[in-house]
Structure 1
Amino acid sequence: MPSYKLMYWNSRGRAESARMLFTLAGVAFEDYRFKEGEWPELKGKKELFPLGQAPSLIIDGKALPHSKAINRHLAREFKLYGDDNEQRRQVDVISETVDDIVSKIIPIHMEKDEAKKKELLGELNEKTKPFLTFLSDNAGERFFVGNKETLADVIVFWLLDFLVPMAPSVLTDYPRLGKFYNGIKDNSKLTEYLKNRPVTQNYRTSRTSRRSDAMSEHTYKLMYFNTTGRAEAARMLFALKGVEFEDYRFKEGEWPEIKNDKKVFPLGQCPVLLIDGKPLPQCKAIIRHLAREFGFYGANNAEAAEIDIVGETVDDIVAKALPAAFEKDAEKKKTVIEDFRDNTSKPFLPYLNDMIERAGGRFFVGNTESVADITVFCLLDFIFSMLDNARETYPALAKFHDGITENSRLSEYIKSRPPVPGM
């Protein structure tokens, strides 16, 4: 049996159908997912990426590029390409039809202008209708071709997995496709894999911003004032994951009129995150929920504990800093800020400074972004604006803050977010 190493980003994208083929065949392979910042270093290695593109499948040390070439090779190798030439023809027709649909979706996925994106989404149904109708007409009771799984089933499921979050009605508009999709999810050789695969976006984003390039199973509406404050960490989690959400900011004078609506604000407080219309109150509950949902709560329980330590330390600092933020008397405010700087912020800020320095300066926990990085960044946004000498006093934290601002997956979001007060 050959050795296999599939190399791609930590997303589904053009590698997911190959992963599913390995699963169907029960063949072991190394599912190598690029670490943050690794791709630019790797893409020039022609022995791994002959075309400077991913995915690449390394078979006994030899690179096979092009996702469709990988899929066809594996399907042939694993006897998932039909039993005869007639069935292979049918598999190819289904696969090419999927490609036609994908060609209509990708421009929407890549579009950065929100108005244009909305326009393209509005046109999607008509543009894909003949192709989806064809697929629906050719969907069998369980399989697209023959009486067992083939590449055609994998490719159509992969398409629907990408399309459904963008156009949920596709499963009801085309009930035979809906039955097929749910059958694969709930009662097939792929069911266990689908339930246990990593929670990642369908396609990686080039750089994340408030808009979404990733699709979500849920609708999200975050409701808060037109400020950063207690909602900003949640906004940054959405941005980091590339998940679409409605960033609803109260209009002038609106909050007193709506705060008593318990169906939206159960505690009469904000922020509130509406998930499929159901309210989730309490900013820390929102942050932890999103971090778990999006995979930013550590790789294991030990890392989750470290993240909690950082979060609780941030809360300690915020509790000490808030009196200074809300003090209206100028003289008292100056005194409270000095006391915070010289006394009440310690030992918490020095602890975080030492922690990020020991961790290497880029991530607080592990070797990738976590909610710990976001909560500290939001804290520092506030602290650095309040304390003139904080950057010099805590150089490791200043370097960390600059790194997130200038050279991270959040840089574009940070630079483009509206200029508003911090608290």
Structure 2
Amino acid sequence: MSGKPKLHYFNGRGRMEPIRWLLAAAGVEFEECFLETKDDLIKLQKGGSLLFQQVPMVEIDGMKMVQTRAISNYIATKYNLYGKDLKERALIDMYVEGLLDLYELLMTHNFQPADKKEQHLATIVDKATNRYFPVYEKVLRDHGQDFLVGKQLSKGDVLLLETLLMAEECKPDILAKFPLLQSFKARISNIPTIKKFLQPGSQRKPPTQEKDVPKVIKIFH
């Protein structure tokens, strides 16, 4: 049996993408088992692999882990992406939790009906530029280091970079007023493991296209 983590999800971003990012940042190779149909999901559910009947599910270290935050916390702890002590871990959690509202908006943007997309994008831009990005700009300024917390890469940095790149996909100049976030993006993107993940041909998933939405909905509904 392979020792690589095995990721069970559809062939797209969704709630698995932050887990892919963390594993890639840690330099961990992983396998993927894609759900193609509703029957694939039902088979996992009936086989007892999904504790709460939901994916993402990651097979790692003899466990079949579900719940995105539990999985990402385990990976971050295992691969030293969770700070050096309890205080740093608390800060990392705070910064990650603070991003989740914006992350959810970005993740669901392409699933919006055509007549609501423009308003949804306006909401993303408003929340990103007026509520969230100013906070992370201030955190970087106050901390005065290369990373959000401490002096080494953490899951907070990884999720922030992923969120920034998703935001730029929606609006390319969205970081125009945030010089420290621009520098952060360039710096973290150049970390060798992350740089590799950002190259074409990696296991990073592209934005969900409109043509793919019906297939994803069929699997999960």
What TM-score, normalized by structure 2, do the two folds share?
Answer: 0.80
Q: Where in structure 1 are there 5+ consecutive unaligned residues?
A: 204-211, 214-238, 243-407, 413-423
Residue 156 of structure 1 and its aligned partner are, at CA, apart by: 0.8
Q: Matched residue of 2:198: which SS?
A: helix
**Counterpart of 2:54?**
53
**Counterpart of 1:152?**
156
Q: Matched residue of 2:170: which SS?
A: coil
2:17/2:205 contact within 8 Å kept: no
**Counterpart of 2:120?**
120
Q: Which amino acid aligns with 2:77?
A: R
Q: 2:170 aligns with which of 166, 174, 185?
A: 166
Q: Matched residue of 1:63: which SS?
A: strand
Which structure's residues are more often helix, by fraction? 2
**Counterpart of 2:146?**
142
Over 3 Å counting, the alpha-carbon distance change for 1:175 and 1:15 in structure 2 is: same
Where relative contact order (Cα < 8 A, 6+ residues apart) is larger, the structure is: 2
Residue 165 of structure 1 and its aligned partner are, at CA, apart by: 0.7
State the number of aligned residues. 210
Q: Which amino acid aligns with 1:181?
A: K
> CA separation in 2, counterparts of 1:190 and 1:38?
34
1:231-250 to 2 correspondence within 5 Å? 239-240=211-212
**Counterpart of 2:76?**
75
1:100/1:131 contact within 8 Å kept: no
> CA separation in 2, counterparts of 1:42 and 1:146?
44
Q: Which amino acid aligns with 1:197?
A: S
Identical pairs, percent:
24
2:102/2:124 contact within 8 Å kept: no
Over 3 Å counting, the alpha-carbon distance change for 1:154 and 1:65 in structure 2 is: same
Q: CA RMSD in A?
A: 2.8
1:318-365 CA deviation, whole Å, 9 max, x = no partner?
xxxxxxxxxxxxxxxxxxxxxxxxxxxxxxxxxxxxxxxxxxxxxxxx
1:242-294 CA deviation, whole Å, 9 max, x = no partner?
6xxxxxxxxxxxxxxxxxxxxxxxxxxxxxxxxxxxxxxxxxxxxxxxxxxxx
Q: Matched residue of 1:52: which SS?
A: coil
**Counterpart of 1:131?**
132
1:164-203 to 2 correspondence within 5 Å? 164-195=168-199, 196-198=201-203, 200-203=205-208
1:80/1:149 contact within 8 Å kept: yes
Over 3 Å counting, the alpha-carbon distance change for 1:135 and 1:39 in structure 2 is: farther
1:2-29 CA deviation, whole Å, 9 max, x = no partner?
6522212212332222223223333343
Over 3 Å counting, the alpha-carbon distance change for 1:197 and 1:2 in structure 2 is: closer
> CA separation in 2, counterparts of 1:175 and 1:64?
38
Q: Matched residue of 1:83: which SS?
A: coil
Structure having the higher Rg: 1
